[in-house]
Amino acid sequence: MKNIKTGSLLQIDSLGGGIHSKVINDILQKHYKCYFFNVVANRNKNKLYEYLMLFYRLAKVHGNKDIWIRSFSSTITLPFDKTQGKNIVVIYDVGNSFKSVHIQFLNKIMEKIFYYALKRVDSIIVMSKLWKEYFESRGYDNVRIIYTPFNMNVFEFTEEEIISLKEKYELTNKPIIYLGNCRRTKGVVEAYQALKELDGYLLTSGEKEVDIPAINLNLSYRDYLRLLKASSVVVTMSKFKEGWCRTAHEAMLCKTPVVGSGLGGMKELLEGGRQIICKDFNKLREDVEYAIAHPELGEKGYEYASQEKFTVEYFEKEWIKLISEVVGE
């Protein structure tokens, strides 16, 4: 069916993508008739059972659609499901996808199936130049970068709302140092140890997956952005190769300096925005102190992060173009 405006699309969204996936969903629903399968793993202490059940459910998906938009897990089941139609795969980060399954032998099996299944897809979408080069080096020639999108309008703040946030959480007397989501893979344990002697408020946000003495806040998205704006520096010391790094990008749009590990696609972001790449936790305190003393880094970051290619409007245009090319309109 060439005219896919009267056809249908399906996105299988499993284990990740978050805000990025939501924006894709919103765009698809504006322009096409869509079917969405939200197949997620039921949380279980037995990780092997949890992931086997996820892949079992994905393998049961069937149907004939113009385009199937897949993530990591649903690509693994592509050779086994009963779907017909074109396939687009959105890859956020390969390394962390494999690490999310805590059983080594299953990792190896998944990896082999994943790269085999990629040979059958029509387009591979990545977030950065590093991942484009990575997949091209493995022999895939249908790789395209579509950068993760941001609604630039939400990064406008009044001085009053920032003061109100600081007062609400009693963060008024010292610099705020935001360490990122409270997850071990985000490097918050090592970052806290490296920075705990600084005279500042050390904060994390989101679900507290690791127990560290830093202040942890569960915030609405708006308050989370206010926190980034109120921070003197944002630390993104991820220990895995990021697809991009949404937190770092949001901080740059808030004109807040960023110190990050630069792993994966994050390197392109931090280098482009002339932020600080810290490859050694032993140097983290020095780099954070420098960032706090040089708030002008935030202006440099904003100049890069606010480019048109990072807007929701540009993202939408690129996706419509991609779908038209894949279907052959």
For residue range 34-66, list pLDDT tens digits in order. Answer: 777 766 656 656 767 777 787 888 888 888 888
pLDDT of residue 21: 80
Residue 3 is predicted with a pLDDT of 46
Q: What is the largest CA-CA distance in the chain?
A: 63
**Model pLDDT for residues 273-289, shown as the tens digit of each residue:** 999 999 999 999 999 99
Q: What is the mean pLDDT of residues 104-121?
A: 87
pLDDT greater at residue 21 or residue 134: 134
Residue 97 has pLDDT above 90, yes or no: no
Confidence of residue 189 (pLDDT cuts 50, 70, 90): very high
Question: Quick one: 215 and 137 in the same domain?
Answer: no
206 CB-near residues (< 8 Å, 6+ apart): 181, 182, 183, 216, 218
DSSP string of 276-300, one letter each residue? EE---GGGHHHHHHHHHH-TTHHHH
Both 88 and 180 in one domain: the answer is: no
Reported as a pLDDT band with limits 50, 70 and 90, residue 1 is very low
pLDDT of res. 36: 74
Same domain for 14 and 141, yes or no, is yes
Please state, rounded to an integer, the average pLDDT across all residues of the chain.
Answer: 89
CB 234 within 8 A of CB 178: yes
- Distance between CA atoms of residues 277 and 293, nearest Å: 16
Instruction: Based on the fold, state whether residues 140 and 200 are members of the same structural domain.
Output: no
Using the structure block, give the residue that is written with the tokens 């894949």. 326
Which pLDDT score, from 0 to 100, does residue 102 have? 53
pLDDT of residue 2 exceeding 70: no
CATH assignment of the domain containing 316 = 3.40.50.2000
In which domain, by residue range, is 121 found? 4-149+311-327
Q: How many domains does the chain divide into?
A: 2
Q: Does one domain contain both 142 and 160?
A: no
Same domain, residue pair 10 and 118: yes
pLDDT tens for 231-250 read: 999 999 999 999 999 999 99
Q: What is the reported pLDDT for 40?
A: 62
* Average pLDDT for 63-87: 88
Does the structure show a pLDDT above 70 at 122?
yes
Same domain assignment for residues 85 and 124: yes
- Are residues 169 and 67 part of one domain? no
pLDDT at 92: 84
Give the containing element (helix H, strand E) for 251. helix 246-253
Same domain for 109 and 168, yes or no, is: no
Token pair belonging to 104: 């080594």
Structure confidence at residue 182 (pLDDT): 96
Q: What number is the average pLDDT over the span 126-153?
A: 97
Q: Does residue 101 have a pLDDT over 60?
A: no
Residue 95 has pLDDT above 60, yes or no: no
Asked if residue 134 and residue 210 are part of one domain, the reply reads no
Does residue 161 sit in the same domain as residue 237? Answer: yes
Instruction: Check whether residue 127 and residue 36 sit in a common domain.
Output: yes
Instruction: Say how many residues make up the chain.
Output: 329
